[in-house]
Amino acid sequence: MSLLTSLMRKTPEGLGGGEDTPKHLGWIMLTALGIGATIGAGIFAMPGIIAGKAGPAGILSFIITGFVIMLVAFCYEKFSIRVPNGVSAYSYVYHSMGELFAWIVAFGLFLEYSFGASAVSIAWGEYLKNATGLTVTGFFAGPYVKDHVFHPGLNIIAVGVIAVVCTILILGGVSKSAKLNFLLVLLKLTLLVTFLAVGFRHVNPANWGNFMPLGFTGVLQGAATAVFPYVGFDALYTFARESKSLKDTRLATYWCVGIVAFLYVTVMAVATGLAPCFINGEPNQLFVGSEAAAPLAKLLANAGEGWTAKFISFGAVLGIFNVLLVFCMGGPRIFKNMSEDGLLPPVFQKVNKGNPVWGIVLNGIIVGSIAGLVPFGEIADMMVLGTLVAFVFVCYGALRLKLVNPVIAIVGGVSCIVLICFLNPMVLHVYSITLPVGLVIYFLYGYKHSRLGKANAAAIAPQTEPEATHTS
């Protein structure tokens, strides 16, 4: 068998682990898990960053990205029927395009969950400081960029909350984590209704006057960054094989994307109406830097709603916490699935109460390091590329297998490629360095230990053995 053929080997239908996985998540819990990862990463942390790129037209950014995500969601949902034991884009690409592409997607998803959890942990710290009046100065306040100069530091609050989340996941198990997530989702919906009701009274339509200050280029840059808030949709599919039925998975997919798209657009409209995105041609400080990590509370406080801002901050401290729970649950599940396929060492299959222990530990170390040492704005852009690469491959795989209407797959995939082109160039530079590192790991371990590769070799052996005996 040639090297190229080996790299393109695909999982047949029905192959994979997960047969003993408990089917305990209905569509309500699955929807809550998706919303839990999405509302928080997007609404509580990202409107500021997106407004800094697109201005009030960030509303259009969220609409564009929501449309693209819905197209990708069609492909995901059809793949969940074709590969019921799969975990997210990794399994779907493994089945449709082959092992090498699956590894690339898995590596991108690893970046997605690592950078995503890191960014959200920083946002959590900003809301905590806003709610409690806590002040951290000096080195332990974390790194920052000022006048294009990087100043190193260690964000001690972000590192601490990651350690707490990982401890809860290891000791608490899946069932308790999912129930806690559901309660926190209800809390976040309450907070958002409060923000919309109170903030709407202070909206100044004049702030929308310069609606598209950086043109449509800014809108597309905002749309690319807006992929970050929607990654909870992919997190939902890391739990797909724990779903009670395919119908539950399908309902959860569309409820999740629909609800969060509506909330993103309305919250973005109110947020950009509360303050101008640009002042004298320069970005408003409420929409850049560390302030952008906690925009809703900062905007309400700026509008004179100090007590409501405190309430939002206190609630967000709890609400964003469950985003970290879901992100830190999702990444290790991909490790576990890859380990079942032989692409990672067996240690990643070890679970405690349903949660993969060593995957959580490794993920926690990496996430804590990124959160502690990298500024918020840089992290937010970093995670988007891995997500979009995964989405492109999922759309192409669905097209190859004819799982969806070709128009859906083509428009979805091409749209993701367009968004990639509008990411910060630095992201592409970092990816061009980290991806080869991932490929080295694959060729040193995954290629040799691949479960599928061993199965193929065992199937070929009986055919070649008689021939070898005959020649002797």
- Percent of the chain residues past pLDDT 90, beyond the cut: 19
Q: Is residue 470 part of a domain?
A: no
CATH of the domain at 91: 1.20.1740.10
Give yes or no for a contact between 334 and 114, defined as CB atoms under 8 angstroms apart. no
Could you tell me whether strands 351-352 and 144-146 are parallel, antiparallel, or unpaired per DSSP bridges?
unpaired
Q: Is residue 17 part of a domain?
A: no
Q: Is residue 370 part of a domain?
A: yes
| Per-residue model confidence as pLDDT tens digits over 146-157 | 777 888 889 999
**211: containing domain:** 22-456
- Higher pLDDT among residues 93 and 189, named by residue: 93
| Per-residue model confidence as pLDDT tens digits over 435-467 | 898 899 999 998 888 888 888 777 776 655 555
pLDDT at 22: 61
| 434 token code pair | 């980290």
Q: Is residue 274 part of a domain?
A: yes
pLDDT at 403: 92
pTM of the predicted model as reported, rounded to 2 decimal places: 0.79
- Higher pLDDT among residues 329 and 300, named by residue: 300
- Spell out the residues 6+ positions from residue 237 whose beta carbon is closer than 8 angstroms to its own: 76, 80, 87, 88, 89, 249
The rounded distance, in Å, linking the Cα atoms of 48 and 386 is 22
Q: Is residue 462 part of a domain?
A: no
| Per-residue model confidence as pLDDT tens digits over 108-119 | 877 777 887 888
- Spell out the residues 6+ positions from residue 433 whose beta carbon is closer than 8 angstroms to its own: none
Three-class SS state of 360: helix
Three-class SS state of 390: helix
Q: Name the range with the highest mean pLDDT among 109-118, 141-150, 332-341.
A: 332-341
| Region 278-304 average pLDDT | 74
Taking residue 369's Cβ as centre, other Cβ atoms within 10 Å add up to 15
Amino acid at 26: G
How many domains are contained in the chain?
1
Q: Is residue 161 part of a domain?
A: yes
- Looking at every residue in the chain, the average pLDDT score rounds to 81
Q: Flag whether pLDDT at 289 surpasses 70.
A: no
The rounded distance, in Å, linking the Cα atoms of 437 and 192 is 41
The rounded distance, in Å, linking the Cα atoms of 108 and 457 is 29
Q: Flag whether pLDDT at 471 surpasses 60.
A: no
pLDDT at 440: 92
- Phi, psi (5° rounding) for residue 21? -70, 130
Q: Is residue 220 part of a domain?
A: yes
| Helix locations, 201-245, DSSP H | 215-225, 232-237
Give yes or no for a contact between 62 and 38, defined as CB atoms under 8 angstroms apart. no
Q: Is residue 306 part of a domain?
A: yes
